[in-house]
Chain A
Amino acid sequence: MLASVASATLLGVDGQPVTVEVHVSNGLPSYTVVGLPDTAIRESRERVRAAILSAGLEWPQRRITVNLAPGGVRKHGAGLDLAVALGILVATETLPPEAVRRTAALGELGLDGTVRPVPGTIALVDTLARAGVDRVVVPTGNAAEAALVASVCVRAAGDLASLCTCLADDVDWPDWPAPVAGPDGAGDPGAPPDDDEVDLAEVRGLAWARRALETAAAGGHHLLLAGPPGAGKTMLARRLPTILPELTPTDALAVTRIHSAAGRAPVGGLATRRPFRSPHHSVSVAALIGGGSSRVTPGEVTLAHRGALFLDELGEFPPSALEALRQPLEERVVRISRQADALTFPADFQLVACTNPCPCGLGPPWCTCTDAQRARYRRRLSAPLLDRFDLRVAVQPPEPGAPPGESSAVVRERVQAAVARQHARYCDHPFARNAHVPARALAELVPLSPDATDAWLGESDLRRLTGRGAARIHRVARTLADLDDTPEIGAAHVALASMLREDVP
């Protein structure tokens, strides 16, 4: 007797539809799983058997073969348990075949028959919806998340016994609890790394660095802060999440999808804040970019998608990791190729980095390092990487008695308004932020006033800028004008943009 149930497994941050076929025939009692399962799936036999017995149903003492199609794709995790159990129940005629027609099942089984949540629900449900499934049964804990996919009917399952009843009659489906966000959005990818609520008002002085941070948040520009230890670089950068603009609904879905696939789903369904990732400088290339040998998992750059990636002490990161950042910074996606898979992960993040200007840390003007020491220190950061920062600011320690700055709420309001202006300007284009405007479209989309053109040409001449460098100043000038709410870029915007892109460290 044969049954097949639709399900899905994770491939990177996307789902891959899997058809679970169960064949029960006469012969010596056995249980075989074929179709490139991993260890978790092989072990499903014990979970599925105990769950079926705990649900008060019959476990067939016959020859059971489970096939996971397509056979050439590796499957991971315990999320196929429920589909296997339903397949066995249909094959043994405990459930009618109509009960699982055009229905997919996701969920891990407990020995007592409970259906446990699985990572990546949103991506899996989305994939199944595209594959033409009408109804998806998901664990109660994932139901809110699964319901974010509008095009499919989501049914929640708390345990196997009641699920069988509901499936058989297609009535009395349980409701799922409304999404509850933890206190202060705990579990949200954008939550600050430590639990203390931080605010820009705590940062004294540092007017220029603050200006650069605000510009970065508004335009999506990459930001490098260079300065002596204790100047407040890290303190400032850690407050970036408090002024980042709101997530648009599409972005929120994309962020939720990635974090769910990485097993860090927001507690209450949709992510509400932009991610802010700050990996330690001992991070490996695979952890930063994504990868892994048996199973390719997204890296920090993907987890920071539509948010910010903060690298403190940039010079301490392994050069291989930093050089690997260059391609995602430019293309905003990561392409991971392994023997088995070639995956593309989204990686549209904003890079914020801090570094000391030299080994002594003092920086100009009173640095005591030799030229050779400085040169050696600077060699850790390659010129192509430094070139990708639109904003490079030398942070000097604030003079004593510097007044506290504006609060995050005030700054965020300006940032939000500037972002709205950018969205309006680029509504017909595939990009939405000033930092993403392609160089060829700059002249048309972001025109400079005659004054600003003179200033821009003068700067390019004076600093012998490359075409790319000049384009970056152009984009930052637009963001500065957006923050000022002026339709035209002025000479002062160009001058400040150029000054916010100093040759540091």
Chain B
Amino acid sequence: MTAAADATGPVPGHSPASVPPLTDDQVAVVALAGLETLGHRRIRLLCAHYPGPAAAARGIVAGTARAVLAPTFGTAHAHLLDPCCARWSRDLDLAATRSTLEQRAARVWLGNSPGFPVTEPLPDLPVALVAEGARADALDRPRVAIVGTRTATPHGLADAHDLAATLAAAGVTVVSGLALGIDGAAHAGVVAVGGTTIGVVATGLDVEYPRRHRRLYADVRAHGLVLGETGYGVGPTPWRFPIRNRIIAALADVVVVVEATRTGGARITAEHALRYDRAVFAVPGSRRNPAAAGTNALIADGAHPLTDWDEVLLALGMTPGARRTPPLRPVPDPVGRAVLAALGGEPASPEQLAARTRLDPETVALALTTLTRTGWITMHQGVVWPS
């Protein structure tokens, strides 16, 4: 299904003139990728059988693709073959796809063409990538993926933001998945310093998911590219998200996992990165933090523990720039120092701090207020977080 009805016009931030004219193959591969249940493996199979994507599209319409795709259905799903072929043949609309692509000034790279962002021959790569956005040059820079859980702690979000900003300021393109949590914080960190970033999405490029990131999508388009392997009109489908993660791993030279739960998408990205022979960094966290269980497990499995952002630049073969000087904060008074010592670098409730310091609530409250104002700690939902 194509998004022929999408009439939002060219995406603001880049002009259609900068996009080279589209070949039939490019249009066909995007149209194929927009068909429901026609995943990247089936498309690769079709493209290998026919001389090219355009011929594969003709095969779908003519019905000759049925024999090619039959093995992918196996015996268990053999009864679905005919309905699927009929639907694909009905839904395939090359003209509408071409007009959408032109209208939105999208770029399409075929897997075998010289401009494809991934140059090494890696297994399972997408047949083609579609991208929209103002900064096609984002792909020319060193690329670092920053990924992590959607249920991040304030520490994780701050780390992702800070790391992304540091890398972006050093001229690195930050690749992430535009999801809630760590992904969003990483993109936002790049946008804050005006760097370049790539958001790899699992939906069609005309779908903004999650909707809460609507503004972030616009920011990422303006500061880089929104990129995916899926055709227009494809909404959020659970199975596409883990598959999308392999593109993040493939695009990146280094993958950094900031916070990950034991069984999250970030772990999948890290596994793809190992398969693709990318350097994997993980930010260590507290044993008590379920959002750090995945990163700690990665470190146990051999990922580099990342404690200094400059190590990422060194891994890219870049020289760290001037070391950032930490912001100067006024030295806290003895009570403040006692409270910070009781905090021990981990989050705690004011009550726990009062119990550990054996001070009365008023004194602790006053100290916490002063520490918040001077930037030593932040308060979030009744919990004290060290900065």
Among B291, B373, B382, which residue has its beta carbon within 8 angstroms of that of A458? Answer: B373
Count of CB-CB pairs between chains A and B under 8 Å: 99
Among A366, A394, A493, which residue has its beta carbon within 8 angstroms of that of B290? Answer: A366
Among B288, B365, B382, which residue has its beta carbon within 8 angstroms of that of A492? Answer: B365
Among A368, A459, A505, which residue has its beta carbon within 8 angstroms of that of B381? Answer: A505
* In the assembled complex, A499 has its CB within 8 A of some CB on chain B: yes
Q: Which of B14-22, B168-176, B355-363 contacts A (4 or more CB under 8 A)?
A: B355-363
Q: A379-403 CB contact bits vs B (8 Å, 1 = yes)? A: 0000000000000011010010010
CB contacts (< 8 Å) of A206 on chain B: these are 351
Known A-B contacts A371-B151, A462-B373; A495 and B347 likewise in contact (beta carbons under 8 Å): no
Q: Are A365 and B289 in contact (CB under 8 A)?
A: yes
Interface residues on B, range: 20 to 34
* In the assembled complex, A50 has its CB within 8 A of some CB on chain B: no
Known A-B contacts A357-B381, A368-B290; A499 and B365 likewise in contact (beta carbons under 8 Å): yes
Q: A104-135 CB contact bits vs B (8 Å, 1 = yes)? A: 00000000000000000000000000000000
CB distance from A157 to the nearest CB of B (A): 58
Q: Are B352 and A492 in contact (CB under 8 A)?
A: no
Q: B145-162 CB contact bits vs A (8 Å, 1 = yes)? A: 000001101000000000
CB contacts (< 8 Å) of B372 on chain A: these are 462
Among B153, B181, B381, which residue has its beta carbon within 8 angstroms of that of A502? Answer: B381
CB distance from B305 to the nearest CB of A (A): 21
* In the assembled complex, A208 has its CB within 8 A of some CB on chain B: yes
Q: Are B361 and A394 in contact (CB under 8 A)?
A: no
Known A-B contacts A357-B381, A370-B180, A371-B181; A492 and B366 likewise in contact (beta carbons under 8 Å): yes
Interface residues on A, range: 35 or more
Among B180, B210, B349, B365, which residue has its beta carbon within 8 angstroms of that of A396? Answer: B349
Known A-B contacts A366-B290, A394-B349; A495 and B381 likewise in contact (beta carbons under 8 Å): no
Q: Are A366 and B373 in contact (CB under 8 A)?
A: no
Q: How far is the CA of A226 from the CA of B383 in the complex (A)?
A: 12
* In the assembled complex, A325 has its CB within 8 A of some CB on chain B: no
Q: Are B369 and A208 in contact (CB under 8 A)?
A: no
* In the assembled complex, B232 has its CB within 8 A of some CB on chain A: no
Q: Are B355 and A399 in contact (CB under 8 A)?
A: yes
Q: How far is the CA of A396 from the CA of B350 in the complex (A)?
A: 10
Which partner residue on chain B sits nearest A226 by CB separation?
B382
* In the assembled complex, B368 has its CB within 8 A of some CB on chain A: yes
CB contacts (< 8 Å) of B288 on chain A: these are 366
- B: residues with CB less than 8 A from A are 150-151, 153, 180-181, 210, 261, 288-291, 347, 349-352, 354-355, 361-363, 365-366, 368-369, 372-373, 379-383, 385
| 14 other A-B residue contacts (CB within 8 Å) besides A491-B366, A504-B381 | A207-B351, A207-B354, A365-B289, A366-B289, A367-B151, A368-B291, A371-B150, A455-B366, A490-B362, A492-B365, A493-B362, A495-B369, A499-B365, A503-B381
